[in-house]
Amino acid sequence: MKRKSIISVLLTGVLALSLIGCGSKGNTAGDDKIIKIGVTPVPHKEIVEHIKPQLEEAGYTLEIVEFTDYVTPNEALADGSLDANYFQHIAYLNETNKSKNLDLTYTAEIHLEPIALYSKKYKKVSEIADGATIAIPNDPSNEARALKLLEAQGLIKVKDGALITPIDITENTKNLKFKELEAAQLPRVLDDVDAAIINGNYAIEAGLNPSSDALVIEDKDAEAAKIYRNILAVKKGNEKIEKIEALTKALTSEETKKFIEEKYNGAVIPSF
Q: Is the pLDDT of residue 15 over 80?
A: no
Q: Is the pLDDT of residue 259 over 60?
A: yes
pLDDT tens digits, 112-123:
999 999 999 999
Q: Is the pLDDT of residue 85 over 50?
A: yes
Angle (CA) 91-92-97 rounded to 5° is 100
Tell the burial category of 99 from Cβ atoms under 10 Å away from its Cβ (0-12, 13-18, 19+): exposed
Section 215-240 average pLDDT: 95
* Residue 224 pLDDT level (bands cut at 50, 70, 90): confident
* Gap between the Cα atoms of 74 and 144, Å rounded: 20
Q: Is the pLDDT of residue 191 over 90?
A: yes
Section 240-251 average pLDDT: 98
* Residue 223 pLDDT level (bands cut at 50, 70, 90): confident
Q: Are 197 and 144 in contact (CB under 8 A)?
A: no
Q: Calculate the average pLDDT of the chain.
A: 90
Instruction: Write out the DSSP string of 147-166.
Output: HHHHHHTTS-EE-S-SS--G
Cis peptide before 210 (omega within 30 of 0): no
Tell the burial category of 25 from Cβ atoms under 10 Å away from its Cβ (0-12, 13-18, 19+): exposed
pLDDT tens digits, 24-54:
344 555 669 999 999 999 999 999 999 999 9
Tell the burial category of 8 from Cβ atoms under 10 Å away from its Cβ (0-12, 13-18, 19+): exposed
Show the domains of the chain with their CATH numbers: 30-113+227-270 (3.40.190.10), 116-219 (3.40.190.10)
pLDDT tens digits, 151-184:
999 999 999 988 999 999 999 999 999 999 999 9
Quote the pTM value.
0.81
- What's residue 1's pLDDT? 47
